[in-house]
Structure 1
Amino acid sequence: MTAPLRLGVLGCGMIGSAYLRQAHAVDGVRVTAICSPTASSRDSALRLWPTARAHGDRSALLDDPAVDAILVCTPHAHHCTDAVAALEAGKHVLIEKPIATSLRELDELELAAARHDRVVVALPLVDRPALTAVADLLGSGIIGAPMEFTSMLDVPGPPRSNWYYSREAVAGPALDTLPYALSRLLALTGATPSAATASVTQAIRHRRCLDGGTLTQQVEDHMSMQLTFLTGQQALVKSSWCLHRPEDYLIVRGRSGDIRLDCWRNRILVRSRTPPEQPHHTATWEDTPAFGIDLPSADPEHVKLTALVAAVATHTNILAESAFTMRLILTGLATHTGAVKVPPAAGGAQPLVDLRIGQEYL
């Protein structure tokens, strides 16, 4: 029997706590240490995993011989530094997004991953059953040639009146929520954009948060990217912290139908002339008939920890696609508004959708 992966959790805030709760249900992982500079956070973490050893600083956690892998859940500006330090200490690492807050940091992370014989799992993950289901639908030709893509993740904003809105966060949705919307679009198409245009704006200056706190916001609250592919298709990717109603979806519009993936609810809607081969039910989309497909759901932290265990077992890095996504976002963030120089393609990515139109009449 293989020994469980011994995990050290660096950062015990909301996300770190979510991992601690889910780790009990993940085969092949055991939390052996937690780390936070705040005593109250350490106490809360130990209530979720009482057998873990508590550390008050990062060095002690990295030196802990009972830790095989580090889960980086610190504030955004520390993610890259913490991940590189974990690699230098001989630990595997799972990095929450954003995996870097500057192009210089991203270069440093990729060099460290190449230099050390340890596994890096960088979020967001793109190998998800929901995207595979959409790819299968596109491959079946049910909506004809895919012509246009839209990927959006809009929320009112983080509910807590804390560092997320300060300069310490470096950026707002550009680094926090846009990576999800962009990474799944790039994974689905499997294609590198030939051109990209970014728009970064701030619509809210003084904000009241859901915890009742008020603050003066120091980061942008809206970023969008318009992507164009060599084959002529276009994609819009957007994330906003301004809208009252959260929405998280991916839409593919084709020559003879449309597909909509509700990413939070793991539901697919298909408008097409013929029903999908997958098990489905009757539904409506924008007051028009559609076919509905309900997919199994899973807790996101459970999925991430399972991916880490599998990656360490097979000694497989999950970095290239996330690094490409972040490089594109960081380039757009630096540009602020205007044309973006598209970075080199992520190595080893296999297209899920063939975007070639071919010679048929459309």
Structure 2
Amino acid sequence: MTDALATLPAPRHPDPADAPALRWGVLGPGGIAADFTDALHRHTGQRVVAAGSRSAERAAAFAAAHGVERSHGSYEALVSDPDVDVVYIATPHSEHLEHALLAIAAGKHILIEKPMAVTAEQARRIVAAAREAGVFAMEAMWTRYLPQTDIIRQLLEREALGELRVVTADFGGHVPYQPESRLWNPALAGGALLDLGVYTVSWASFALGAPAGIIAAGTLAPSGVDEQAALLLSSAGGAQALLSTSLLAGTPSLATISGSAARIETDSPFWGPSGLRVFRSDGTLAAHWRDPYGRPHRDGMAYEAAALARYVGEGRTESPLHPLAEAVDTLATIDEARRQLGATRVE
């Protein structure tokens, strides 16, 4: 066991630049769309060929700033563009259902920013529509496609940690309270859980699967959205996940998976390219892996785009590393946590 832990498996992901080239359309040219577009153009053969917004001026400005060929002054025009293979949906998650269905109806493959929708029921509608249309659909949980995640995946597949017992993850940031802004406004599906918290719930799902029990505690903002939350998730086998998220304070953004034989601790941030440490059951360090690939921070979104292109080339309709059913289950966990907290719901 000691030797196996000291020699970590190599990530199995090929270079993002080697993925088949698809033509992308960006629906919702905001900050994360800008980082996504730049990551694709820097690190892959993918190309964003069109940007669409309700504002023609905003779409044109985005296209000019990020080397995009053309722009559209409506979402309908973007999804109807015959030169677009796949639509990246980067609008606020309160609009994901509408925009996903719009793109699917136009016959486009879709990558939807996380969370896939506001509720599990909305996500199920997207999944059903994509399957009926036969198009590829994927939630943009980019953490699943990082090299470090594949190392962890291989350790879990080999049961190198022994029997899993405790999983932890945190993600918090200090966001000044502005009741009309996206993170604080219930009409825009604001709150910590549906934004930062989705990373932590997805991490627990990655390690343990869908929870058998959910206990949530936290506080609400004056607007009624959850401003801070702690979740205790339990698995059918008795393992537990301890998760926290906050809009009130920055937290370390660390995650762990602990088993009877060993534990994994990520470097910070666990949700982006960083690294990991593996400790033996006696607490001694077995190995420390640092990401060597030079795609820091949101440049790591190149991996998910490359994965999508490969899956489409293989004729798949969903990701084998992050199936649509799991994205739905993650939202079901958040649904229940928000219900327990009494968070305002606008659907």
TM range (shorter): 0.7 to 0.9
Provide closer, same or farther for how the CA distance between residues 143 and 59 of structure 1 changes in structure 2, counting only shifts above 3 A. closer
CA contact (8 A) 2:256 2:266 kept: yes
Contact 1:12 1:41 in 2 (8 A): yes
Counterpart position of 2:148: 130
> Could you report, residue by residue, the CA deviation over 1:169-210 in whole angstroms, capped at 9, with x for unpaired residues?
223121111111111221123x332222233422x55xxxxx
Give runs of aligned pairs for residues 310-349 of structure 1, distance below 5 A. Answer: 310-316=310-316, 317-318=318-319, 319-336=324-341
For residue 214 of structure 2, what is the aligned residue in structure 1? 196
The TM-score, its normalising length taken from structure 1, stands at 0.76
How far is the alpha carbon of 1:249 from its aligned partner?
1.6
Q: Distance in 2 between matches of 1:246 and 1:336?
A: 21
The CA deviation string for residues 195-226 of structure 1, in whole angstroms up to 9 with x for no partner, is 22233422x55xxxxxxxxxxx5522122321
CA–CA separation in structure 2 for the residues paired with 1:48 and 1:54: 12
Q: Distance in 2 between matches of 1:133 and 1:70?
A: 29
Residues 1-362 of structure 1 aligned to structure 2 (within 5 Å): 4-125=21-142, 126-137=144-155, 144-157=162-175, 162-189=181-208, 191-202=209-220, 205=222, 218-243=224-249, 245-255=250-260, 257-262=262-267, 263=270, 264=272, 266-272=274-280, 291-296=287-292, 298=295, 299-316=299-316, 317-318=318-319, 319-336=324-341
Q: Contact 1:142/1:272 (CA < 8 Å) preserved in 2?
A: no
Q: Displacement, 1:94?
A: 0.6
Counterparts in 2 of 1:157 and 1:312: CA distance versus 1, 3 Å = farther
- Between the aligned partners of 2:161 and 2:43, the Cα distance in structure 1 is 38
Bigger Rg, which one: 1
Matched residues, percent identical?
Answer: 25
Q: Is the 8 A contact 1:123 1:322 kept in 2?
A: no
Distance 2:37 2:79 in 1: 18
TM-score (norm 2): 0.79
**CA-based RMSD:** 3.0
Distance 1:183 1:260, change over 3 A: same
The alpha carbon displacement at 1:101 in A equals 0.8
AA matched with 1:179: V
What SS class does the counterpart of residue 165 from structure 1 fall into? coil
Residue 89 of structure 1 aligns to which amino acid in structure 2?
A
- What do the CA deviations read for 1:39-77 (whole angstroms, capped 9, x no partner)? 553243122344522111111112211211111011121
Asked whether the equivalents of residues 13 and 41 of structure 1 are also in contact (C-alpha less than 8 Å), the reply is no
Deviation at 1:137? 4.2
Q: Distance in 1 between matches of 2:44 and 2:279?
A: 39
Cα distance in 1 for partners of 2:121, 2:259 equals 39
Deviation at 1:309, TM superposition (A): 1.2
SS at match of 1:173: coil
User: Any conservation in 2 of the 1:73–1:96 contact (CA below 8 Å)?
Assistant: yes
Q: How many residues align?
A: 312
Matched-pair contact (CA < 8 Å) for 2:214–2:336: no
